[in-house]
C-alpha cells in the first residue's frame, strides 16, 4: 500500500496535535513534518515536497496563501486549506492560489481521512456556498470577451446541484455518471478558477494601463 | 396679329397682377387720395434726339425750344421699348419730353414752394422748368446712373413759374437692353407731394435700405459666428445668403455702381446676385433640413456660372433676354425652396412652420410679380417688388435659425438638468455603495474574528474534550452546539448580500448531516431549482436555518425516524420524517412556537401536521412579498 507524505503548517499547537493524532492513526498517511510559520513551511516544502500540504491561512509571519502558491509550482503536491468553517471567503482565496480543497479543523477523524484520500484520488471537496460562488463567478457577462473561461453545461449542472445540497453520490446518480467523474468536474472547475483569476488580473492590469 | 397677341398676354397678366398686388391697389388708392390735388400730367410731347444714351450730341434747350424737332404726342407712363419695338437702336438712347401745365396767378403767389414729383423713371433724367434746369437724377455719361425704383421730388422755386401755361422739360436717357421709361408726373406744392413721395420712397427704396443694412450686418455677424465653428455649414450659407441679399438690395439704393463696370455688366452682376441669393438659400435650407442633395446645388451653381459667362459675351440687346431666362430658372429654384420648406415643415415647431412658409410664399409671389413684369415688358411696371423678397426670406430664415438656437439652448439646459440629476443619483448611489462597502467590511471583520477567535477556541475545546478520557459529554455537546450555531451565523452572512433558499438548504445539509448521520438517520434530499427565488438577507437566512434546525432536531429527538425527507416545490420547503408523527392534540411547545415566529418574521407560513409517513413541516413562501 502506498503511503503519502503530508506536511502540516498551522500555528495553533492544539490543531497540530489534533491533526497529528488523526493522521498518524491512518497507516497510508505519513505526516513528515509540521511547521508553525510561513517561512518554515516554505523551507519544508522545498526540502521535501509532500504529496499533500495542509495549511492554515492565518500564519504569524504571513498568509498561508503564499505557501499554497509556492506549493502549486510543485508537480506532485496538492494543497488543502484548514479552515474552521470552510467558508467561502477563505476557501475561494485558497482555491485561487492553487489549493485543491479544504479541511474542517474540527472534522471528525473519518471525515479528515476521507477528504484527504479523495483529494489524492483526484476529487476536491466542495461546499454549497462555494459552488454558488463559482456559478456566479463564471456566469458569462454580456461584455465579456471570448477569452475568459466559462463553465461547460455539465460543470454548471454539477455546481447547481452541489449548491442545493446534493452529495457527490447523489449528483452522480442524477447525472448518470460515476462519482469520480463528478470529482474530476470539480477539480477542473477549480483549475478554471485559477485561469479565470489570471485573465481577470491581466484585464485589470490592461485597464489600469500596467500592461 | 400683334394687337390680338398683346391683348391675350395682357389679359393673363392683368389677372395675375391683380391677384398679386392687392396691396398695391390699396397703396395706389392712398397715393391717389394724397395726390388728388396735384396736377397730374399724363400727356407729353416726345422727341428722340439720339439713339445713343450717352451721346455727346446733346442739342440742349436751344434745340428743344426750336420748332425743328418732331414732337410726337405720348401718354404717360411712357415706355420706350414698348413704343419702339422695331429695332434695337431705337430702344435706348436719349429723348426729351415736354409736359405743359397751367397755373393761375393766385396759386403761385399764395403757396409755398412748388415741386415736381416723378414717382418712377429709368434710367436717368434732368428736369427743366420753363427752360431752367431744376435738377437731375445722376450722370448722363456712360455708365448712366440707374434710377429704376427711385422716386424723386424736385422743388421748383416759385419765381420760375408763370401764371398760365408752364413748360416742363425732361431729358431722359437709357439703354436699349434695359427699360427706358417715364411715369406720370405730378406738379403741386412741395408739402402736398411730400407724403406720396415719402410713402413711395419707403416702399421701394426704404425697404431695400432696411434689407441692405440689416442683411449686411447679420451676414457679417453670422460669418464671424461660423468662423468659430466651421463644422456647421448652415451658418456659412446663411451668412452668404444675407450678404448676397445685401448686394442685391444695394441695386435699389445706389444709383451709381461703385465699380467701373459697364451698364450691361452691372445688370449681369445684379442678376447673378439674385441667382446666388437663391442658391445660398437652397444650400442653407438643405443643411438646415439635413439634406445632402449636393448634386442639385452643383447643377444650379453651374447654371449660374454659365449664365454669367454667356451673358458677359452676348451683344447688349440680348443681355436682358439672358438674365430673364436665368430669372425663370431662379423662380423655379425658389419654387423648390418652398417645396423643401413645406416637405420638411415637421422639423419646426408649429409657429415657425407657418411663419416661415407664409413669409417665403409672400417673398416668392413678390419676386414672381417682378419677374412677370419684366418678362411681359409691361409699361406700367412702376411697382417693382423684388426688394421685398430677400428681406422676407431673411426674416424667415432668421426666425428658423433663432428658433432652432433657442430650442438647442433649451435642450442644453434640459441636458444640464438631466446631467445634474444623474450626478445626484450617482452620488447617492456612491453613498449607498460606501455604506454597503462598510457593511461588507464589517461582516468581513466579524467573520475573521469568528474564524480566528471564537471558532478556533471552540474547535480547540472540542478537540481537547475528545482527547481526554472521562470527558464531559454534556460540555462536549454544548460546545458542539455552540460551534454549530456559529456555523449557521457564518453561513447566513454573505458578503455579497442576499442568498437563495436552495443555497441555504444546501449549507444546512452540509452542517447538519454529520449530526444526523451520527444518530443513524439519513437525509432524503429533493431540493430543486423551481423554488421561488426570494432571496434572503443575513437575518432572514439565519431565521430560516434555525427553523430548519428545529424541524430536523424535532425529527431526531421525538419522531424516532430513520429518514428525513427534505424537498421543495415552487412555493414550499417541506421537512418530512417517517417517524411516529406529531401529536396534534398536545399544546405546541416552545420549539414549535419559536419556529412559527421565526417563519412569520421572514414572511413564511408554517404548517405542521401529520403525513402518510410521519410528521410534515411545510414552509410556504407568501407570493410577491419580500422577506426581511
Strand order in the sheet with A4-9: A29-35, A4-9, A52-56, A78-83, A101-104
Q: Which among B463, B508, B509 is the nearest to A14, CB-wise?
A: B463
Asked if B451's CB is within 8 angstroms of A129's CB, the reply is no
Question: At residue B604, what are phi and psi to the nearest 5 degrees?
Answer: -115, 145
B529 inside 8 A of chain A by CB: yes
Asked if B508's CB is within 8 angstroms of A163's CB, the reply is no
pLDDT the model gives residue B428: 92
Instruction: Find, in chain A, the residue whose alpha carbon is nearest to that of B485.
Output: A85
Q: Closest by alpha carbon to A82, among A11, A7, A10, A28?
A: A10
Q: Which among B447, B462, B491 is the nearest to A129, CB-wise?
A: B491
**Residue B528 with chain A: CB contacts under 8 Å:** 164
Asked if A129's CB is within 8 angstroms of B503's CB, the reply is yes
Window 64-93 of A, Cβ < 8 Å to B:
83-90
Instruction: Find, in chain B, the residue whose alpha carbon is nearest to that of A111.
Output: B514
Q: Per-residue pLDDT tens for B32-42?
A: 666 667 888 88
Asked if A106's CB is within 8 angstroms of B459's CB, the reply is yes
Asked if B455's CB is within 8 angstroms of A164's CB, the reply is no
Q: Please give the radius of gyration of chain B, using alpha carbons only, rounded to the nearest integer.
A: 51
Of all helices (H) and strands (E), which one includes residue B414? helix B388-449
H-helix segments, B2-161? 2-20, 22-34, 60-65, 80-83, 88-91, 105-110
Dihedral sign from CA coordinates of A164, A168, A171, A173: negative
Asked if A162's CB is within 8 angstroms of B463's CB, the reply is no
Q: Which among A106, A160, A170 is the nearest to B529, CB-wise?
A: A160
Contacts of B621 (CB under 8 A, 6+ apart): B501, B531, B532, B534, B571, B572, B603, B604
Annotate B279-348 with DSSP letters as a single string. HHHHHHHHHHTT---HHHHHHHHHHHHHHHHHHHHS-HHHHHHHHHHHHHHHHHHHHHHHHHHHHTGGGS
CB-based contact B76:B120 (threshold 8 Å)? no
Asked if B452's CB is within 8 angstroms of A128's CB, the reply is no
Strands (E), A86-160: 101-104
d(CA B587, CA A95): 50
**Distance from the Cα of residue B186 to its chain's centroid:** 50
d(CA B152, CA B135): 10
**Distance from the Cα of residue B107 to its chain's centroid:** 62
**Residue B452 with chain A: CB contacts under 8 Å:** 58
User: Does residue A51 carry a pLDDT above 80?
Assistant: yes
Instruction: Find, in chain A, the residue whose alpha carbon is nearest to that of B489.
Output: A85
Q: Which residues on adjacent β-strands are paired with residue B226?
A: none
**Residue B529 with chain A: CB contacts under 8 Å:** 160, 164
d(CA B240, CA B234): 10
Q: Per-residue pLDDT tens for A154-211?
A: 888 888 898 888 988 899 998 898 888 888 888 888 888 877 766 666 666 566 555 5
Q: Which among B455, B496, B507 is the nearest to A128, CB-wise?
A: B507
Asked if A163's CB is within 8 angstroms of B502's CB, the reply is yes
**Residue B500 with chain A: CB contacts under 8 Å:** 132
- Strand bridging mode B132-136 / B185-189: unpaired
Instruction: Find, in chain B, the residue whose alpha carbon is nearest to that of A107.
Output: B459
d(CA B237, CA B216): 14
Which range, of A92-106, A115-129, A132-146, B416-430, averages the lowest pLDDT? A132-146
- Strand bridging mode B563-568 / B572-577: antiparallel
Angle, in degrees to the nearest 10, between helices A88-97 and A179-208: 80
d(CA B337, CA B325): 19
Asked if B483's CB is within 8 angstroms of A163's CB, the reply is no
CB-based contact A29:A116 (threshold 8 Å)? yes
> What's the burial of B75, exposed, middle or buried (CB within 10 Å: 0-12/13-18/19+)?
exposed
Q: Closest by alpha carbon to B44, among B182, B175, B190?
A: B182
**Residue B456 with chain A: CB contacts under 8 Å:** 12, 15, 84, 105
Q: Closest by alpha carbon to B487, among B534, B535, B546?
A: B546
Tell me the nearest-neighbour CA distance from B445 into chain A, angstroms: 12
Find the Cα–Cα–Cα–Cα dihedral B103, B109, B110, B115, rounded to 10°.
Answer: 60
Q: What is the pTM of this model?
A: 0.56
Which range, of A74-88, A132-146, B573-587, averages the lowest pLDDT? A132-146
User: Does residue A107 carry a pLDDT above 80?
Assistant: no
B69 inside 8 A of chain A by CB: no
pLDDT the model gives residue A209: 57
Tell me the nearest-neighbour CA distance from B507 into chain A, angstroms: 6
d(CA B330, CA B323): 10
Asked if B499's CB is within 8 angstroms of A18's CB, the reply is no
Window 468-497 of B, Cβ < 8 Å to A:
483, 486-487, 490-491, 494-496
d(CA B43, CA B185): 9
d(CA A80, CA B606): 41
**Distance from the Cα of residue B517 to its chain's centroid:** 79
Instruction: Find, in chain B, the residue whose alpha carbon is nearest to that of A110.
Output: B514
Q: Best mutation site among B497, B500, B510 for testing chain A: the one with the most A CBs within 10 Å?
A: B510
Between vectors from CA B432 to CA B430 and to CA B433, what angle results, nearest 5°? 60
B459 inside 8 A of chain A by CB: yes
**Distance from the Cα of residue A209 to its chain's centroid:** 32
H-helix segments, B519-628? 538-554, 590-601
Q: What does each C-alpha distance from B174 to A91, B169, B370, B383, B539 come to in angstroms?
A: 106, 17, 20, 19, 105
**Distance from the Cα of residue B394 to its chain's centroid:** 15
Of all helices (H) and strands (E), which one includes residue B526? strand B522-526
> What's the burial of B415, exposed, middle or buried (CB within 10 Å: 0-12/13-18/19+)?
exposed
Q: What stretches in chain B show pLDDT beneath 50?
A: 1-10, 85-90, 625-628
Q: How much is the ipTM here?
A: 0.84
- Strand bridging mode B604-610 / A4-9: unpaired
**Residue A83 with chain B: CB contacts under 8 Å:** 451
CB-based contact A55:A11 (threshold 8 Å)? no
Q: Closest by alpha carbon to B582, among B595, B598, B571?
A: B595
CB-based contact B532:B482 (threshold 8 Å)? no
Q: Which among A89, A90, A163 is the nearest to B503, CB-wise?
A: A163
**Chain A / chain B CB contacts < 8 angstroms:** 98
Other beta carbons within 10 Å of B490 = 23
Q: What does each C-alpha distance from B498 to A130, A133, B290, B440, B536 come to in angstroms?
A: 15, 12, 52, 12, 5
**Residue B450 with chain A: CB contacts under 8 Å:** 84-85
Q: Best mutation site among A85, A91, A112, A171 for testing chain B: the one with the most B CBs within 10 Å?
A: A85
Angle, in degrees to the nearest 10, between helices B501-518 and A153-163: 60
For residue B487, give the 3-state DSSP assignment: helix
pLDDT the model gives residue B8: 44
Instruction: Find, in chain A, the residue whose alpha carbon is nearest to that of B488.
Output: A85
Asked if B483's CB is within 8 angstroms of A166's CB, the reply is no
Question: At residue A22, what are phi and psi to the nearest 5 degrees?
Answer: -65, -45
Between vectors from CA B446 to CA B445 and to CA B449, what angle results, nearest 5°? 85
Tell me the nearest-neighbour CA distance from A75 into chain B, angstroms: 31
d(CA B381, CA B383): 6
Annotate B560-575 with DSSP letters as a single string. --SEEEEEE-SSEEEE
d(CA B245, CA B391): 8
Tell me the nearest-neighbour CA distance from A26 into chain B, angstroms: 17
CB-based contact B503:B573 (threshold 8 Å)? no
**Distance from the Cα of residue B367 to its chain's centroid:** 26
Q: Helix, strand, coil shares of chain A as percentages rounded to 5?
A: 55, 15, 30
pLDDT the model gives residue B415: 92
Amino acid at each position: 500500500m502506498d503511503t503519502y507524505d503530508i506536511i502540516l503548517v498551522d500555528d495553533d499547537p492544539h490543531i497540530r496535535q489534533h491533526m497529528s493524532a488523526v493522521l498518524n492513526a491512518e497507516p497510508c498517511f505519513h505526516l513528515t513534518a509540521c511547521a508553525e510559520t510561513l517561512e518554515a513551511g516554505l523551507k519544508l516544502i522545498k526540502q521535501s515536497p509532500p504529496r499533500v500540504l495542509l495549511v492554515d491561512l492565518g500564519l504569524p509571519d504571513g498568509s498561508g496563501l503564499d505557501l499554497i502558491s509556492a506549493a502549486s509550482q510543485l508537480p506532485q503536491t496538492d494543497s488543502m486549506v484548514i479552515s474552521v468553517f470552510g467558508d467561502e471567503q477563505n476557501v475561494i482565496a485558497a482555491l485561487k492560489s492553487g489549493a485543491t480543497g479544504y479541511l474542517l479543523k474540527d472534522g471528525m477523524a473519518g471525515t479528515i481521512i476521507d477528504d484527504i484520500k479523495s483529494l489524492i484520488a483526484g476529487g476536491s471537496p466542495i461546499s454549497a456556498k462555494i459552488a454558488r460562488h463559482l456559478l456566479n463567478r463564471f456566469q458569462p457577462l454580456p461584455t465579456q470577451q471570448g477569452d475568459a473561461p466559462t463553465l461547460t453545461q455539465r460543470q454548471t449542472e454539477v455546481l447547481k446541484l452541489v449548491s442545493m445540497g446534493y452529495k457527490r453520490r447523489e449528483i452522480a446518480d442524477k447525472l448518470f455518471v460515476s462519482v469520480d467523474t463528478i470529482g474530476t468536474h470539480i477539480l477542473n472547475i477549480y483549475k478554471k478558477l485559477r485561469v479565470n483569476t489570471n485573465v481577470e488580473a491581466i484585464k485589470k492590469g490592461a485597464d489600469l494601463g500596467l500592461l | 396679329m400683334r394687337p390680338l397677341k398683346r391683348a391675350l398676354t395682357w389679359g393673363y397678366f392683368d389677372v395675375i397682377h391683380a391677384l398679386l398686388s392687392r396691396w398695391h391697389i390699396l397703396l395706389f388708392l392712398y397715393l391717389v387720395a394724397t395726390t388728388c390735388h396735384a396736377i397730374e400730367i399724363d400727356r407729353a410731347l416726345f422727341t428722340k434726339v439720339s439713339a445713343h444714351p450717352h451721346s455727346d450730341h446733346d442739342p440742349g434747350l436751344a434745340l428743344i425750344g426750336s420748332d425743328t424737332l418732331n414732337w410726337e404726342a405720348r401718354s404717360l407712363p411712357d415706355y420706350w421699348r414698348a413704343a419702339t419695338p422695331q429695332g434695337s437702336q431705337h430702344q435706348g438712347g436719349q429723348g426729351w419730353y415736354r409736359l405743359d401745365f397751367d397755373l393761375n396767378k393766385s396759386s403761385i403767389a399764395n403757396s409755398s414752394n412748388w415741386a415736381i414729383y416723378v414717382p418712377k423713371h429709368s434710367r436717368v433724367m434732368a428736369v427743366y422748368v420753363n427752360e431752367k434746369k431744376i435738377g437731375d437724377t445722376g450722370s448722363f455719361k456712360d455708365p448712366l446712373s440707374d434710377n429704376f425704383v427711385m422716386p424723386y421730388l424736385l422743388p421748383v422755386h416759385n419765381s420760375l413759374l408763370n401764371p398760365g401755361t408752364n413748360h416742363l422739360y425732361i431729358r431722359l436717357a437709357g439703354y436699349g437692353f434695359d427699360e427706358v421709361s417715364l411715369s406720370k408726373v405730378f406738379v403741386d406744392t412741395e408739402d402736398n407731394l411730400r407724403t406720396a413721395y415719402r410713402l413711395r420712397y419707403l416702399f421701394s427704396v426704404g425697404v431695400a435700405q432696411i434689407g441692405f443694412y440689416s442683411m449686411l450686418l447679420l451676414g457679417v455677424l453670422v460669418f464671424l459666428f461660423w468662423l468659430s465653428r466651421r463644422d456647421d455649414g448652415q451658418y456659412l450659407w446663411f451668412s452668404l445668403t444675407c450678404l448676397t441679399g445685401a448686394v442685391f438690395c444695394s441695386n435699389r439704393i445706389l444709383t451709381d455702381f461703385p465699380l467701373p463696370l459697364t451698364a450691361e455688366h452691372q445688370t449681369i452682376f445684379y442678376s447673378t446676385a439674385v441667382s446666388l441669393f437663391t442658391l445660398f438659400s437652397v444650400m442653407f435650407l438643405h443643411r438646415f433640413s439635413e439634406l445632402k442633395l449636393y448634386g442639385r446645388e452643383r447643377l444650379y451653381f453651374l447654371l449660374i456660372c454659365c449664365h454669367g459667362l454667356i451673358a458677359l459675351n452676348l451683344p447688349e440687346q440680348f443681355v436682358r433676354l439672358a438674365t430673364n431666362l436665368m430669372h425663370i430658372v431662379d423662380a423655379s429654384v425658389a419654387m423648390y425652396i418652398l417645396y423643401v420648406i413645406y416637405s420638411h415643415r415637421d422639423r419646426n415647431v408649429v409657429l415657425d412652420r407657418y411663419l416661415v412658409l407664409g413669409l417665403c410664399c409672400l417673398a416668392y409671389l413678390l419676386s414672381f410679380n417682378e419677374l412677370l413684369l419684366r418678362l411681359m415688358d409691361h409699361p406700367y411696371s412702376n411697382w417693382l417688388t423684388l426688394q421685398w423678397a430677400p428681406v422676407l426670406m431673411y426674416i424667415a430664415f432668421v426666425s428658423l435659425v433663432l428658433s432652432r438656437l433657442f430650442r438647442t439652448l433649451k435642450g442644453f439646459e434640459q441636458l444640464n438638468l438631466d446631467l445634474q440629476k444623474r450626478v445626484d443619483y450617482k452620488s447617492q448611489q456612491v453613498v449607498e455603495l460606501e455604506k454597503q462597502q462598510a457593511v461588507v467590511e464589517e461582516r468581513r471583520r466579524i467573520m475573521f474574528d469568528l474564524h480566528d477567535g471564537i471558532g478556533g477556541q471552540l474547535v480547540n475545546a472540542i478537540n481537547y474534550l475528545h482527547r481526554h478520557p472521562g470527558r464531559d459529554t454534556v460540555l462536549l455537546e454544548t460546545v458542539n452546539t455552540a460551534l454549530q450555531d456559529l456555523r449557521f451565523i457564518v453561513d447566513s452572512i454573505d458578503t455579497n448580500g442576499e442568498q437563495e433558499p436552495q443555497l441555504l438548504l444546501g449549507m444546512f445539509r452540509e452542517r447538519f448531516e454529520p449530526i444526523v448521520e451520527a444518530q443513524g438517520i439519513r437525509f432524503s434530499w429533493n431540493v430543486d431549482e423551481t423554488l421561488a427565488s426570494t432571496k434572503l438577507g443575513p437575518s432572514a437566512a439565519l431565521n430560516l436555518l434555525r427553523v430548519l434546525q428545529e424541524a430536523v432536531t424535532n425529527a431526531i429527538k421525538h419522531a424516532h425516524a430513520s429518514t428525513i425527507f427534505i424537498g421543495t416545490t415552487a412555493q414550499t420547503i417541506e421537512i418530512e420524517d417517517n417517524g411516529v408523527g406529531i401529536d396534534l392534540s398536545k399544546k405546541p411547545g416552545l420549539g414549535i412556537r419559536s419556529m412559527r415566529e421565526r417563519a412569520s418574521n421572514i414572511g413564511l407560513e408554517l404548517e405542521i401536521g401529520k403525513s402518510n409517513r410521519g410528521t410534515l413541516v411545510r414552509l410556504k413562501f407568501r407570493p410577491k412579498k419580500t422577506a426581511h
